[in-house]
Amino acid sequence: MLRIILYTSLLLVTSMGFAQPRLEIALDVRGTFCKGGSGLCNQDRNPTKDSTMKIYTATKLDYNRISFEIEPNKLSIEEQVIFFGKEYRELKPTDEIMFIQENDFIFDLDTLIYLDLDLAYGLLKKGTYPIKVDKDKVKVTFTLSFHR
């Protein structure tokens, strides 16, 4: 009996260590200084009801890799064009869609801590990042760079 209890406890502790932290986070993807363009320009872990930012689900993939997922039907037409380069309904399965980050963006420490990311890697460098479309969800994966 003691063996069963120890084995069950060990399984629980082991599975908790492999759980991927997930976080609902509000992001503004209006580019440079949030005045137009594309790319992250603002974040908020605790958005108010009046916030114009959209809620994404952030998931830790590795010590410096994070993915953001959103349902495209929750984006306005304008936001879809910013995010995908055209309206979501116009996308074809063969389209290669890239998220364009126009400027470097630094994630706040609270977000890095909550997602259990390495605090030294909080910089999202400008560049292009692939977008994966799965039926009713869209996911973009970022690799964060060293920053200090």
**Side-chain half-sphere CA neighbours of 87 within 13 A:** 4
Total number of domains constituting the chain = 1
Residue 132, domain member (yes or no): yes
- Its domain, for residue 119, covers 22-143
Residue 13, domain member (yes or no): no
Residue 16, domain member (yes or no): no
pTM for the model: 0.73
Residue 81, domain member (yes or no): yes
DSSP 6-44: HHHHHHHHHHHHTPPPEEEEEEE-B-GGGSSSSB--EEE
Residue 1, domain member (yes or no): no
Q: How far apart are alpha carbons 13 and 37 in whole angstroms?
A: 45
Q: Is the pLDDT of residue 32 over 70?
A: no
pLDDT tens digits along 92-129: 878 888 888 888 889 989 889 989 999 999 999 999 99
Q: Is the pLDDT of residue 1 over 60?
A: no
Range from 48-62, 70-84, 96-110, 113-127 carrying the lowest mean pLDDT? 48-62
Residue that has been written with the tokens 């759980």 in this structure: 19
Residue 14, domain member (yes or no): no
Residue 37, domain member (yes or no): yes
